Amino acid sequence: MGELRLMKGNEALAEAIIRAGADGYFGYPITPQSEVIEYLTAEKPQERTGMVVLQAESEVASINMLYGGGATGKKVVTSSSSPGISLMQEGLSYIAGAEIPVLVVNVVRGGPGLGDIQPAQSDYFQSTKGGGHGDYRLIVLAPSSVQEMSDFVPVAFDLAFKYRNPVMILSDGAIGQMMEKVELFDTIPRLTDEEVKERYPWATNGKPKGGERRIITSLDLDPAKMEEHNRHLQEKYRKIEENEVRYEEFQCDDAEYILVAYGSSARIAQKAIQLLREKGVKVGLLRLITLWPFPYKRIEELAAKGVKGFLAVEMSAGQMVEDVQLAVNGKVKVAHFGRLGGIVHSPEEVVEALEQKIIGE
Amino acid sequence: MSEIAIKDIIKTENLVYKKTKLMTDKPLSYCPGCGHGTAHRLIMEVIEELGKENDTIGIAPVGCSVLAYEFMNVDMQEAAHGRAPALATAIKRLWPDKVVFTYQGDGDLAAIGTAETIHACNRGEKIVIIFINNGIYGMTGGQMAPTTLVGMKTSTSPYGRDVSLMGNPLKITELVAQLPGTYFVSRQAVHTPSAVRKAKKAIRKAFQNQLDDAPGINFVEVVSNCNSGWKMTPVDSNIWMEENMFPYYPLGDIKVDGEIIK
Ligand SMILES: Cc1ncc(C[n+]2csc(CCOP(=O)(O)OP(=O)(O)O)c2C)c(N)n1
Ligand code: SF4
């Protein structure tokens, strides 16, 4: 068994970054995730593993530090919250275009604008549909516990390097700030420079002796070549959709109704299911782990199998619900419930929403 | 001269100049007469002479030199507009033994990328920044740059730069020289053979300092022409540059070994 600790979600994430063998963290403070950089600077990871930690002058700089560092084959990561992630969108588009493996963590807060510092899930569109300019996708993982804030870090790095694609961990202010017991995984050693060079021959870390120089760019002025590059990206995204969909089901076997949720909302939905089951309502939960790729097929199967209705529970005005609707494709009822602007809904509100919006009608 | 005489002259022992192998054979995409190509060549010559071909990572900007990676035969990355110093910061910190440089125009370095420039300089990142100041946005068709001179006509200052409306031309090189994080700051040109020799010396010093692990940024500005954007012949543009750019952007070293000398 790994080391057990009582930690905040943000601290567990920071500790996992060091243990995952990351080479560099570049970030700019913003509530509700500043504990990440505070923890990292206090832990002196340069002494523990040789990892670099740098407070950048802005999120624009941090994402471009990731672009530069990631393009050399090193494991690099940043974290921020909603307004900061908005500032990173140009950089993320370049990173996706140039196919650089990086990890970006968004501990979401209420918006739009400066919004507030309370938990929200209103950055779903931005995270799963691209966010910046051009046709691209991030792989998006949604932790719903402090344990997963730690566990998803090495998974995210593996996916990033496997597909040469930016990966986002989409958390929220509640998961970031809450304290829970966490079992930490053992430290994975950082790769040596030689190992990096051997594993990632595409990376720009000094032209190999007697070999060809490498170029990292997202530019091609020839539209025919740009189209070809886009097709290549799309093929890669189809492969990710085929292989990397992750979700978890609770009590879905006999369910007549299904709540679809992720992150904090999934925890609340679980409690709501308990209350509904006590009332005799057969309800289950589909908890999303990857938001992109999205489990369209599984939802389609559940709809075909006789589920009478789906309720998308998310702390937004209705973003993830659009993907549920796409999957269900009009076969059965789909509705949305969620509080806005940083208000966390209660299990009772979820119960009421299912009764009124799905069962009652 | 007869054919035989020419053959006699073309011999290895008579070679006075050889193109560095760190410039690719791809024809430059720059307008004939533009200074960008010469500046590229000097950087690549220096890297070859220092024996760092296999240990260098260069960052191209967004601007006319966006395709610098096509011509510079070392590992290269192409940054977003203005962000090259951020990329270079991470690369140098993750690979402290490598030689890292950025190549940036005035719009890239002194407008959209001002924050990245100032903060990389202020942190004293151990990189080289080569800054091409042609007083205009060449790539996008000749709009006003932060370095456009007062009264100078561009497509977005069609009646000349008016200070009351558009502010003053920014001497960002003097500005970064004030920061303790810069170690060597110099302003050069590449429009005459003697200027080229001096520029190469400065560029060499900048890279040598990085190799010597000097504590801070090595920043070399090259005041250059943009004959297309300025709407002049190459020759006229160089005369105009001497008469108008150099008085405002005087050539020479500004800071050496961490000490301001001018
Ligand atoms: C975010 C962003 N804004 C604007 C542009 C358009 N743009 C491309 S190059 C350029 C100016 C380049 O001027 P400079 O840096 O002086 O280089 P030069 O072309 O003169 O060598 C601009 C505004 C861009 N590519 N990206
Ligand atoms: S537009 Fe100006 S800066 Fe660009 S290549 Fe032509 S002369 Fe050079």
pLDDT in tens, B11-43: 888 888 889 999 999 999 999 999 999 999 999
Fold of A248-359: Rossmann fold (3.40.50)
Report which of A179, A145, A174 is spatially closest to residue A343, judged by C-alpha positions: A174
Spatial separation of the C-alpha atoms in residues A331 and A354, rounded to whole Å: 18
A76, A204, A209 ranked by CB distance to B57: nearest? A204
The answer to whether position B92 is within a domain reads yes
Indicate yes or no: CB of A68 within 8 angstroms of CB of B89. yes
* ipTM of the complex as predicted: 0.97
SS3 A178: coil
The answer to whether position B121 is within a domain reads yes
- Report the number of distinct structural domains present in chain B: 1
pLDDT of residue B15: 87
A273, A254 Cβ separation under 8 angstroms? no
**Is residue A318 over pLDDT 60?**
yes
The answer to whether position B9 is within a domain reads no
SS3 A71: coil
In single-letter form, the type of residue at position B49 comes to E
Going across the sheet that includes A24-27, the strands are A52-55, A24-27, A76-80, A103-108, A167-172, A139-141, A290-292
Spatial separation of the C-alpha atoms in residues B58 and B78, rounded to whole Å: 9
Q: B32 CA distance to ligand 2 centroid (A)?
A: 8
- At A198, list the tokens: 């051997």
Neighbour count for residue B35 (Cβ, 10 Å): 27
Q: How far is CA A140 from the centre of its chain?
A: 3
Indicate yes or no: CB of B94 within 8 angstroms of CB of A24. yes
A356 pairs with which residues across the strands?
A: none
Domain parsing of chain A, residue ranges? 3-193, 248-359
A339, A312 Cβ separation under 8 angstroms? no
Residues of B with CB under 8 A from a CB of A: 53-57, 59-60, 66-67, 69, 73-80, 83, 86-91, 93-95, 98, 115-116, 119
What residues in A contact B86, CB-CB < 8 Å? Answer: 56, 60-62, 64-65, 67-68
The answer to whether position B24 is within a domain reads no
Question: Which residues, 6 or more positions from A46, have their beta carbon under 8 angstroms from its beta carbon?
Answer: A52, A53
B143, B137 Cβ separation under 8 angstroms? yes
**Nearest-CA distance B194 → chain A (Å):** 32
The answer to whether position B25 is within a domain reads no
Report which of A356, A350, A355 is spatially closest to residue A285, judged by C-alpha positions: A350
pLDDT of residue B2: 56
Say whether A248-359 and A3-193 share the same fold: yes
The answer to whether position B17 is within a domain reads no
pLDDT in tens, B85-120: 999 999 999 999 999 999 999 999 999 999 999 999
The answer to whether position B196 is within a domain reads yes
Spatial separation of the C-alpha atoms in residues A331 and A239, rounded to whole Å: 27
| A73-100 average pLDDT score | 98
Task: pLDDT band for B5, please (50, 70, 90 cuts).
Answer: confident
Neighbour count for residue A279 (Cβ, 10 Å): 9
- CATH number (3.40.50.970, 3.30.450.20, 3.30.420.40, 3.30.200.20) of A3-193 reads 3.40.50.970
pLDDT in tens, A122-169: 999 999 999 999 999 999 999 999 999 999 999 999 999 999 999 999
The answer to whether position B1 is within a domain reads no
Question: For chain A, first and last CA: distance in Å?
Answer: 49
Any idea what the CATH number is for the domain that residue B208 is in? 3.40.50.970
> Residue B85: which domain range?
31-260
